[in-house]
Amino acid sequence: MNVHDALKASARETAAALDLPLAWEGESFALPARPYLRGRVEYRGEHAATCGENGLTRLDGALVLTVAVMIRPGRDGDSVSGADSEAVRLARCVADRYPRGYGINTDRGELVFCVPQVETPRSDSARISATALLTFYGILRKEGA
């Protein structure tokens, strides 16, 4: 399985384990009336790790999984703080599934995750979102090698 598909499959497993629908960047998705997960992969750099014809490539990036929780109408901001807490709790559950050193196998080698981070929640008028930033690196074989 290629790098992108392996990361996407891992995100799907995480969403299923937490009973959250997964919206993947670039795919159509009907917003549910309950918490859900948005996912994407950010590639941050690829460069030669060794010299030679069949040298290895280092790939750096992040699997970005964002939990979105709908804000329910309420009094005195209780619904906002409740959604805030739920989004952070779920984002921490996501991050806990990718501890430092956790690896995912691909057809070119293994991706290894660094220390996961949960970012400060953000809100718009309808939902609160908390992001689990799951940085990784891989020392991968060249394609076709």
Q: What is the pLDDT of residue 54?
A: 67
What is the domain-level CATH number for residue 50? 3.30.2000.20
User: For residue 51, is pLDDT > 70?
Assistant: no
User: For residue 129, is pLDDT > 90?
Assistant: yes
Q: Provide the pLDDT confidence category of residue 64 given band limits of 50, 70 and 90.
A: very high
Q: What is the pLDDT of residue 145?
A: 55
Supply the range of the domain harboring residue 20.
3-141
User: For residue 49, is pLDDT > 90?
Assistant: no
Q: What is the pLDDT of residue 139?
A: 85
Q: How far apart are CA 91 and CA 85, in angstroms?
A: 10
Q: Provide the pLDDT confidence category of residue 56 given band limits of 50, 70 and 90.
A: confident
Q: What is the pLDDT of residues 29-38, one digit of tens each?
A: 998 989 999 9
Domain count, the chain: 1
Q: What is the pLDDT of residue 55?
A: 73
Cβ within 8 Å of residue 56, ≥6 positions away? 48, 49, 50, 109, 139, 140, 141, 142
Mean pLDDT across 14-19: 97
